[in-house]
Structure 1
Amino acid sequence: MSEQTIQLIVFFGITALIAFATYLKCVGHSRSGDSNKEYFLASGGLSWVFVAGSITLTNLSTDQLIGMNGNQMALLAWWEFAAVIGLFILAKVFLPVYYKHNCTTTTELLEKRYGDKNIRAVIAALFLFGNIFIFLPSVLYGGSLFMKSLFNTDLPLITLATFFGIIGACYAVFGGLRAVAVSDTYSGILLIGMGLLIVYLAVAAINFDFSGIPVERLTLIGDDDSPLPWHVLLTGMIFIQTFYWGTNQTITQRAMAAPNVKEAQKGVFAAAAIRLLIVPPMIVIPGIVSYKLYGDIGDAAYGTLAGDILPVWLSGAFAAAIAAAVLTTFNSILNSSAALYCCDIHEKYINKDVNVGKLNAIITGIFVIIALALVPVYATADSIINLVQELFGLLSMPILSTFIVGLLFKDVDARAAITAVIFGTLLYAFFVFVWAPFHYIHMMCITLFSCVGMALLVNRIIFGNKISMAHNATA
């Protein structure tokens, strides 16, 4: 039996086992009378274990394992350490508000705080733009490229992407968030197990000796010329994490699907513990070891090292873990995108009494087709990927400003907040493309505070509303 055959047998066996275990866990669950809650919040039935597992694996995918290890330095671990703070902010600040207002989407909170459905739709549309045109196709592209190289197959990239797209859509359509979260958790156990094994085998391959590696590859204190200067940790980093973990539907949807806020918080705290103790070694140590073994090889670091240190049968299990990471990230983004469209746009402006199951299937299919159509574009034009990612960065701080203003202040006109979003996008575009006086993370902090100030200024001057603090953000 050839090595590739063994790889494939192990790969398909584990992938099928995860799917079957997910089916056994989900089958027989009664349907909620609220279709939105059923499809997008698992009828509030996720225990803290599945909240933690789904949050962890939705975030942990090929872009982290391959991209962060591709930097081949310890400094990138700060993204994970800072994420712990973001998760605590989600648990203690945002979750109590989402649960008090019985939100299905994060953007629903904006409608309730501003008393205007239009701001909900505008911010949902911005999230959808990023999901559909950036994250879905990039996940398909990255996962397919990795599988193609690992199995050394001649299959076209689009064929592998179609495989991921169809399987991911099946989870999202037929099982809703419940199936997505359960498969995330089971897959997460596999991925974390394989990831930690690779960490151990990697350091064993250099006899636990990190000598000879340049100090800038090992330090956690970044200087001004590093990708992550130490001082950015004190400014924009915390707001990037707050935006991602606290307002991003793809992440927070899992925490909003628990029976109550206490159960949700337990899941988020567990995810924070995993993020603090387990994930950092997985996303930096293999890259550092590969630098000692192979030199500066960039994004090829993780795959090259894994291929050299894993036995054949384990490489098939590793492929299944990576495939699981791709699928769970993809189907999570699909499910959250469908929730944003159905709840925030379709039901508000087109048809309130829609068949959610049918609409979910149709819109999910459309999203998958768009993502697959963009895979060849991503495969041939790296500059477009970088540009589009940069463009989505233009939206993060302006979007976060709408949540901050809505929670901290009262009697703010929704049009003032939308004006601030437009202003913030233009301001950050100026910083990025015209004049960049500081590190981009510092400029994100400046953009956020400028957006908040602009919203309050427009609210007072244009709409004549007095500015006052909200006595209770959950009111």
Structure 2
Amino acid sequence: MATIWTIIIVYMAVMIGIGFYSKTKIKDSTDYHLAGRRLGPIMLAGTLAATEIGGGSSVGVASKAYGDWGLSAGWYVVAAGIGIFLVSFVAPYMRKAMATTVPEIIGKRYGKSSYVITSLLSILSLTLLTAVQITATATIINVLTGFSMEGAILIAGIGVVFYTYLGGMWSVTLTDFVQFFLIVFGFAIAVPFALSAAGGFDTVISNLPDEHLGFTKIGWKTIVGLIILYFMTFSTGQEAVQRYYSARNEKIAIWGSVLCAALMCIYAFIPAFIGLIAKSAFPNIEANNALATVSVELLPPLIAGLLLSGVISATLSSASGDMLGVASVYVKDIHGKYINKSLNDQSELKISKITVVITGLIAIGISLFSQQIIPLLVFAFTIRSTGPFAAYIFGLLWEKATPNAGLWSIIIGTIVGFYWQFAKEPFGMMAVVAGGTASLLTFLIVNWIDRSRGIPSSPSAYNSNKDLSS
């Protein structure tokens, strides 16, 4: 255990050092929010992958494999890879817009009401996602130290707030790049060691219920639903879109996305298999502790230390990206438009850092109350994407979209998504599919009515300087 702790402490010290280094590269708010729009394809792919391979795709997948989903939990990450590949077709339009936030595009195309609703949905979902990542990190700290989950949540939350406050997007990007490749390498070498320590492949398989080995146990309806969920949420999620905005140019936005998709699909089933090893060797533990328990009990200390360092850093970096997304949306889309319209760049930077701290504290509170991972993750993805999805995509791609179409699609899609979620997803249809379909149909119908009545289309997303606060 001492070796594991030494590696984790050294690794986290390096990450904090990167935060201090990143602080020296920040000269203005564009550097803080978008890394100066200078990311190349490898850095973009690494930061995209690390953002999405956080608590849900590591701790969460191992937990679901241990629990109800078995081996098919790996589809959670494959679906994410396919979703982000589909986003590559939209990525150049995101970069071309030269925006900072998702609501900024919505506001330019559809006006103030659409702008405000999307901003609030984005802030709510990103705060929930921050809480998910803090919870995932806390499960590891809980197993390693024996601290209560509440104490572990406080440690994880305070740590991520600190280095996000320091370095912004530069800090997030550099730590993402390091930890993504560490986590993939760590998982890849962990599986054979864990398998051997658990008695070998035959022993593990013989200890598992047959249904846990089903490759598609979760069902094709869920798999397709997850692909749709991820395409929609990566298209409209501030923490993902903000990285596309940070690309050096439109071509890099495409290839960074394609490379990220490939990396995620390669990684996908590794944490699921670790969850199965945990189910075989430790059948009576908490499902959320599956990954950490295998690491501590079955892996050599050096490998366990590297793997858990990578997982902790990945989950914290995802939380960092989510908090930074809240800061970007709040400062650009609420504070700068409705509270202080004459905000200068240094004041914007200061308020961004304060927002990061406040968001972190709220997320810690949610984590203390909920302590869920994948269910809360899916809920957050649903509320931020069901309504704004059609409006955002058409806002980027279609010049003939009308303001009413955007507004009503956001309202109807969000209402249907919320209802479907709280109604426990009737007919087995995921809430994001129901809400997204309602959003798309509403957009097309209202847009057709507006065009037939001669109502003009909204301003372009690429050259409008419309004052959204008026």
TM-score by length of 2: 0.85
1:248 to 1:193, Cα distance in 2 relative to 1, 3 A: same
Does structure 1 retain, via aligned residues, the 8 Å contact 2:160–2:320?
Answer: yes
Q: Does 1:97 align with 2:93?
A: yes
Task: Structure 2 unaligned segments of length 5 or more: list them.
Answer: 464-470
Q: Corresponding residue for 1:208?
A: 201
Q: CA separation in 2, counterparts of 1:435 and 1:152?
A: 35
% identity of equivalent residues: 23
Does structure 1 retain, via aligned residues, the 8 Å contact 2:125–2:384?
Answer: no
Q: Shift of residue 248 of structure 1?
A: 0.7
Name the aligned partner's letter for residue 52 of structure 1: A
Q: Corresponding residue for 2:408?
A: 419
Find 2:82's aligned residue among 65, 76, 85.
85
Please report the RMSD computed on the Cα atoms of aligned residues, expressed in angstroms.
3.2
1:22 to 1:420, Cα distance in 2 relative to 1, 3 A: closer
Q: CA separation in 2, counterparts of 1:323 and 1:331?
A: 12
Q: Does 1:453 align with 2:441?
A: yes
Does structure 2 retain, via aligned residues, the 8 Å contact 1:69–1:286?
Answer: yes
Provide the aligned length of Structure 1 versus Structure 2. 451
Does structure 2 retain, via aligned residues, the 8 Å contact 1:98–1:256?
Answer: yes
Q: Deviation per CA, 1:153-197, whole angstroms, max 9, x where unpaired?
A: 4xx545443433333233323322011110111122322222222
Q: Corresponding residue for 1:143?
A: 137
Does structure 2 retain, via aligned residues, the 8 Å contact 1:432–1:440?
Answer: no
Q: Does 1:188 align with 2:184?
A: no
Q: Corresponding residue for 2:220?
A: 230
Matches within 5 A, 1:237-256: 237-256=226-245
Task: Structure 1 unaligned segments of length 5 or more: list them.
Answer: 223-227
Name the aligned partner's letter for residue 217 of structure 1: H
Q: Does 1:344 align with 2:333?
A: yes
Q: Corresponding residue for 1:403?
A: 392
Q: Shift of residue 250 of structure 1?
A: 0.6
1:216 to 1:469, Cα distance in 2 relative to 1, 3 A: farther
Q: Corresponding residue for 1:304?
A: 293
1:157 to 1:215, Cα distance in 2 relative to 1, 3 A: closer
Q: CA separation in 2, counterparts of 1:320 and 1:435?
A: 36
Q: Does 1:110 align with 2:106?
A: yes
Matches within 5 A, 1:123-134: 123-132=118-127, 134=128
Q: CA separation in 2, counterparts of 1:214 and 1:474?
A: 55
Q: Corresponding residue for 1:283?
A: 271
1:373 to 1:301, Cα distance in 2 relative to 1, 3 A: closer
Find 1:168's aligned residue among 156, 160, 164.
160
Q: Shift of residue 399 of structure 1?
A: 2.3
Secondary structure of the residue aligned to 1:289 is: helix
Name the aligned partner's letter for residue 79 of structure 1: Y
Q: CA separation in 2, counterparts of 1:201 and 1:426?
A: 48
Q: Deviation per CA, 1:269-293, whole angstroms, max 9, x where unpaired?
A: 221121111x213221111223333
Does structure 2 retain, via aligned residues, the 8 Å contact 1:86–1:245?
Answer: yes
Q: Corresponding residue for 2:263?
A: 274
Does structure 2 retain, via aligned residues, the 8 Å contact 1:169–1:331?
Answer: yes
Q: CA separation in 2, counterparts of 1:474 and 1:130?
A: 26
Q: Corresponding residue for 2:40?
A: 47
Does structure 2 retain, via aligned residues, the 8 Å contact 1:84–1:272?
Answer: yes
Q: CA separation in 2, counterparts of 1:400 and 1:41?
A: 22
Name the aligned partner's letter for residue 130 of structure 2: L
Q: Shift of residue 211 of structure 1?
A: 4.4
Q: CA separation in 2, counterparts of 1:231 and 1:158?
A: 36
Does structure 1 retain, via aligned residues, the 8 Å contact 2:92–2:253?
Answer: no
Q: Shift of residue 468 of structure 1?
A: 10
Secondary structure of the residue aligned to 1:71 is: helix
Find 1:9's aligned residue among 3, 6, 10.
6
Q: Corresponding residue for 2:353?
A: 361
1:386 to 1:267, Cα distance in 2 relative to 1, 3 A: closer
1:233 to 1:412, Cα distance in 2 relative to 1, 3 A: same
